[in-house]
Amino acid sequence: MRSRGHFRKNVYPSPFHSRLEPLNKLKEWGRWHDYLSADTYICDSKEYFAVRNTCAVFDLTPMEKTRVTGPDAFAYLDRLLTRSVEKVKPGRVGYCVWCDDNGRLLDDGTLFHLHEGDYRLCSLHPQLDWMLTSAIGFDVDIRVETHEVAALAFQGPTSCAVLRKMGLDDIENLKPFGIKHYAFAGTELMVSRTGYSGDLGYELWIDPSAAEDLWDRLFEAGELHGIMPFGGNALDLVRIEAGLLLCGKDFLPADGTVRPERTRSPFELGLDWLVDLSKPCFNGRQALLEEKKNGSRYNFVKLDIDGNKPANDSFIMLQNKTTVGHVTSAMWSPSAKANIAFASLEAPYGQVGEEFLAEIYYQRELKWTRVLAPCRVIDHNFFEPPRRRMTPAPDF
Amino acid sequence: MKKYDAIVIGAGHNGLTNAAFLAKAGLSVLLLERNPYIGGATVSREIYPGFKYSNCSYVCSLLRPEIYRDLNLAKYGLQIVPYGGSVTLCENGDFFGNFTDADVARREMQRHSERDAVAAVRFDRDIMRQCKFIRPFLMRTPPDPTSFKPRDIRELIHYGKEYYKLGEEVIYDTIRFYTMSIAEYLDEYFESGVIKAAFAGSGIIGSALGVMSPGTSYVLLHHAMGEVDGSMGAWGFARGGMGAIADAMAAALVDLGGEIRTDAGVEQIIVRNGRAVGVALENGDEHYAQVIVSNLDPKRTFLKIMDEKDLDPSFVEKAKNFKIRGSSGKLNIALDGVPEFPALGKDNELIRGDMHFMDSIERLERAYDDWKNGTWSKDPYVDMLIPTLTDPTMTPEGKHFMSVFVQYVPPKVNGRDWTDADRDAFGQTVLDQIANYSPNFKDLILDVEIRTPREIEAEVGLTEGNIFQGELTMDQLLFNRPFPGYAQYRGPVKGMYMCGSATHPGGGVMAAPGANAAREILMDLKRPNSVPEGWVDD
């Protein structure tokens, strides 16, 4: 992929492609950066319910992975990220965001503390430019390892049972956001209890050379547990139910946003809990302190909407029809039996319990209808099964 | 003798546009062209049998879509086909390609610098911010900041508001952007020499400035603020060659009732009682009109076809001091087949885009050093394209036309006039450079048209062959273009106007100067405006 002739292929098969290809019944491939990636393998609904009912596998390989090591790795990351990195102990994973100097989000991601002082940052978009700029003065080594690690998200209630059947010792006692390392096919398999589904689930990380072996062992073990692949569409559904943001949809990366006012701070995305203003210095702190003092421009909210028409791209209005914001993500939630959405509203609107109208357009047999559906701001996730946090993890 | 409402001098794209909008407003218009053919620098001519060259301008992006649509140029056969990508071939046998596919483009950058591929996101954002700021002003007359006329004050307030809308950070950046060199600007984003060199090229095209000269950042913006069908910064070929643009405009003009006369060089703009009243042609004919519009550059207009005694001495000084230095040349080449570029390998889409050989900022600056020393660059910057890989209409099947824009080429060689021998030696320098990267190139050559500033000035009329009708530096932009106090298209005597690229918003096949000038003329004549408003970018 780094050879001079790389352009002869616009898109590359992932290390799991030989296994994904026959399972892709629709033969429709999308792209995720350098890799072929499917939005749907069989049927969005089947894949969605596999995640919620049994278990399903999502090819996570294209995720950007940046390794951070060196004596100042911790100090550096504590400066780069808005959250306290101290709380991400060795063998643990932390959700995190990072900002530019204006306190605007560049991306969100997960920080893996692989071994003492050895970190991997996973993100949707490559971050090297800002990461190197931020490293000035720190003794760290920052290296992109996106293509050196193959990864699967393995999510769903039977996921733990399948991994146990695969022979992963003591996996049931791995706590949420914990990491375990196993010997596998002459290399190392790293398992983290993480995911983007809000359900019981794991992510599996391995050298690309052992990717097919991992897939085969996983599907062998999962055969009687309803294992199947799931694509980007089903993933989008489960992450909305879980209350998780998507970069590019719920917020824009500040380094690529032409209109400066369209960027968002962590506070404006409801991510206050990821900002530790007690840290003496981190990227964006000055701006975020100012914002804390002067107030944010926007509130990010979860909405429970009346009716069953998904509020995609809807304007959110006051009762007097004044527009105060718009929906960023929306769906009918099959698991919560609720019509749900994320929305960005102009401050001060968006307090929990506040009622608005969602302007929804829907079509039935080429006839378009507009409804103003009452909706209210809620403070909980739409779907949050106890098994997500249970340790030891249940069998299903 | 018929008296016209307006006479426009020079049938380049701005003269054509200006005349078309005046005709559309109901004026009787005569457009005069010195050459036996129209187009000015927007021209395609058959110099070699069976081959059409885009002799001067060679690609299109800036042409304002408002004008394209309003003059119905599609109806008159104009089609702009976007082309893909660009490539810089390196001395070490490698290349850096700017591919049309976003992911492939990123991967290619990563191949040269993992970091630069990410920095490019920030770079594109910042260039796009500047584009968004400047584009709404292209179809507006620049306000005079010293004037107290309500209209100027209104426009200034509009400019100010738009400027402050950019936000704190972008306001700082804008001032730096307009004054920095392209080399310095790129240093703030990129580390790879070849990536910087690839972007720096559009900072010097058409300018007698080096990549390290202040002001060249803006020149890059001038090349990035165009579009093809809403895709900002994209470039395309006019199907049939750039002359297709002039031809479509001419057809529109004739349909609107305008009259075009070729072989009609203007000897003199006739001024009586401080007012321009007509023109005297080289053939002795005289034509009279209420309005005389010059599409020629200011030096040619005010120092050649106007009597200096009709002008204020300080104005004549301004014209004399106008910066319109020759810096570029061109080779138009007929080829018997597609040249091979071994570095690219077979079936590489990049051969359809613009090709370059400068792989470092240093080489670009050295090329400029040669110009300062009074010679053409020994290792020149070229912007080279083979339009016929995209456009099937310009050459016989299997044959190709190669357009090679070359910089730097001085207006005089070591202080003396160009000779034919100089011209041929210059051409050989360019051909040798191309052959360094393409072993079979020379064998394929059927014909070469070599154009130095001498040829461009003699044929097109552009002083020193300057492609922008005057350099695009801060001192000659906006309300200072072409001169302070004369940026609203009105000349120094009543009834006389300017509509060429020397006026705001400057050069390139944009047609905005011609349209803006028409709007001002119609305002003075108290006629309804026929010029469309600019489309606003949200």
Tokens of A242: 């879980």
Instruction: Look at residue A222 in the predicted model and tell me its pLDDT.
Output: 97
Among B202, B230, B258, residue at a domain's last position:
B230
Q: Is residue B399 part of a domain?
A: yes
Nearest to residue B323, comparing CAs of B213, B406, B421? B213
Cβ-Cβ contacts under 8 Å, B121 against chain A: 125, 129, 253, 255-256
Instruction: Look at residue A52 in the predicted model and tell me its pLDDT.
Output: 97
Tokens of B101: 């596919």
Residue B416, CA atoms < 13 Å, CB-side half-sphere: 5
Q: Is residue B458 part of a domain?
A: no
Nearest to residue B204, comparing CAs of B190, B191, B187, B218? B218
CA-based nearest distance B194→chain A, Å: 15
Q: Is residue B207 part of a domain?
A: yes
Residues in chain A: 396
CA-based nearest distance B126→chain A, Å: 7
Cβ-Cβ contacts under 8 Å, B108 against chain A: 6-7
* Record: contact B103-A34, CB cut-off 8 A: yes
* Record: contact B104-A10, CB cut-off 8 A: yes
CATH number of the domain residue B266 falls in: 3.50.50.60
Tokens of A327: 């929906």
Q: Are residues B137 and B95 located together in one domain of the fold?
A: no
Which residues of B, range 342-361, sit inside 8 Å of A by Cβ? 345, 347-349
Cβ-Cβ contacts under 8 Å, A31 against chain B: 103
In angstroms, how far is CA B460 from the centroid of its own chain? Answer: 13
* Record: contact B111-A2, CB cut-off 8 A: yes
* Record: contact A261-B111, CB cut-off 8 A: no
Find out whether the peptide bond into B189 is cis, omega within 30 degrees of 0: no
Amino acid identity of A187?
T
Q: Is residue B531 part of a domain?
A: no
**Angle subtended at Cα B389 by Cα B383 and Cα B391, rounded to the nearest 5 degrees:** 100
DSSP label at residue B411:
S
CATH number of the domain residue B426 falls in: 3.30.9
Q: Are residues B207 and B141 located together in one domain of the fold?
A: yes
* Record: contact A132-B115, CB cut-off 8 A: yes
Question: Which residues share a beta bridge with B261?
Answer: B32
Asked if B225 contacts B537 with a C-beta cutoff of 8 angstroms, the reply is no
Which residues, in sequence order, are CB contacts of A366 under 8 Å at separation 6+?
Answer: none
Cβ-Cβ contacts under 8 Å, B128 against chain A: 258
At A256, phi and psi to the nearest 5? -120, 10
Q: Are residues B385 and B276 located together in one domain of the fold?
A: no
In angstroms, how far is CA B37 from the centroid of its own chain? Answer: 19
* Dist CA B324 CA B298 (whole Å): 9
Q: Is residue B178 part of a domain?
A: yes
Would you give the end-to-end CA distance of chain B in angstroms?
50
Question: DSSP string of B485-526?
Answer: T-TTSB-SSBTEEE-STTSTT-SSTT-HHHHHHHHHHHHHTT
Residue B117 touches chain A, beta carbons under 8 Å: yes
Question: Which residues share a beta bridge with A55?
Answer: A227
Q: Is residue B460 part of a domain?
A: no
Among B421, B451, B481, residue at a domain's last position:
B451
Cβ-Cβ contacts under 8 Å, B170 against chain A: 260
Calculate the alpha carbon distances from B516 to B189, B256, B494 in Å: 36, 18, 18
A36: closest chain B residue by CA: B103
Rounded average pLDDT per 10-residue block, chain B, 538 residues: 92 98 98 98 97 97 96 98 94 96 96 98 95 92 92 92 85 89 97 98 96 95 89 93 98 98 98 97 97 98 96 97 97 98 94 97 98 98 98 97 98 97 98 98 98 97 97 93 96 98 97 98 98 88
Q: Are residues B60 and B7 located together in one domain of the fold?
A: yes
CB pairs under 8 A between A and B: 72
* Record: contact A258-B132, CB cut-off 8 A: yes
Instruction: Look at residue B164 in the predicted model and tell me its pLDDT.
Output: 87
Which residues, in sequence order, are CB contacts of A342 under 8 Å at separation 6+?
Answer: A240, A245, A250, A300, A301, A302, A303, A327, A328, A329, A330
* Dist CA B12 CA B17 (whole Å): 9
Q: Are residues B284 and B175 located together in one domain of the fold?
A: no
Question: Which residues share a beta bridge with B281?
Answer: B266
Of A1, A127, A261, the CB nearest to B118: A127
DSSP label at residue A14:
-
In order of their start, the domains of chain A are 6-61+149-241 (3.30.1360.120), 297-389 (2.40.30.110)
Q: Are residues B130 and B225 located together in one domain of the fold?
A: yes
Helix axes B168-179, B216-224, angle to 10 degrees: 110
CA-based nearest distance B127→chain A, Å: 9
Among B400, B424, B451, residue at a domain's last position:
B451
- For an interface test with A, the pick among B107, B135, B163 (most A C-beta atoms closer than 10 Å) comes out as B107
Q: Is the pLDDT of residue A302 over 70?
A: yes
Instruction: Look at residue B189 in the predicted model and tell me its pLDDT.
Output: 97
Asked if B17 contacts B138 with a C-beta cutoff of 8 angstroms, the reply is no
Q: Is residue B151 part of a domain?
A: yes
Residue-averaged pLDDT of chain A:
97
- For an interface test with B, the pick among A259, A263, A290 (most B C-beta atoms closer than 10 Å) comes out as A259
Instruction: Look at residue B482 in the predicted model and tell me its pLDDT.
Output: 97
B103: closest chain A residue by CA: A33
Domain of residue B132 covers 120-230
Nearest to residue B251, comparing CAs of B511, B515, B19, B492? B19
Asked if A143 contacts A39 with a C-beta cutoff of 8 angstroms, the reply is no
* Dist CA B233 CA B238 (whole Å): 16
Cβ-Cβ contacts under 8 Å, A258 against chain B: 125, 128-129, 132
Amino acid identity of A66?
T
Residues in chain B: 538
Residue B118 touches chain A, beta carbons under 8 Å: yes
Nearest to residue B205, comparing CAs of B431, B368, B339? B368
* Record: contact B101-A10, CB cut-off 8 A: yes
Counting the structural domains of chain B, the total is 3
Residue whose tokens read 């001419």: B250
Q: Are residues B69 and B158 located together in one domain of the fold?
A: no
A100: closest chain B residue by CA: B122
Asked if B499 contacts B15 with a C-beta cutoff of 8 angstroms, the reply is yes
Instruction: Look at residue B1 in the predicted model and tell me its pLDDT.
Output: 65
Q: Are residues B345 and B447 located together in one domain of the fold?
A: yes
Of A6, A144, A260, the CB nearest to B111: A6
The whole-number average pLDDT for the span A114-126 is 97
- The pLDDT tens digits of the residues spanning A169-197 come to 999 999 999 999 999 999 999 999 999 99
- For an interface test with A, the pick among B109, B115, B351 (most A C-beta atoms closer than 10 Å) comes out as B115
Q: Are residues B417 and B346 located together in one domain of the fold?
A: yes
Q: Are residues B383 and B444 located together in one domain of the fold?
A: yes
Helices (H), B138-167: 150-165
Of A1, A127, A258, the CB nearest to B107: A1
- The pLDDT tens digits of the residues spanning A339-354 come to 999 999 999 999 999 9
Cβ-Cβ contacts under 8 Å, B129 against chain A: 258, 260
Cβ-Cβ contacts under 8 Å, A253 against chain B: 121
Q: Are residues B72 and B91 located together in one domain of the fold?
A: no
E strands of B186-327, at which residues?
A: 227-228, 231-232, 236-238, 259-261, 266-272, 275-281, 286-294
Q: Are residues B414 and B377 located together in one domain of the fold?
A: yes
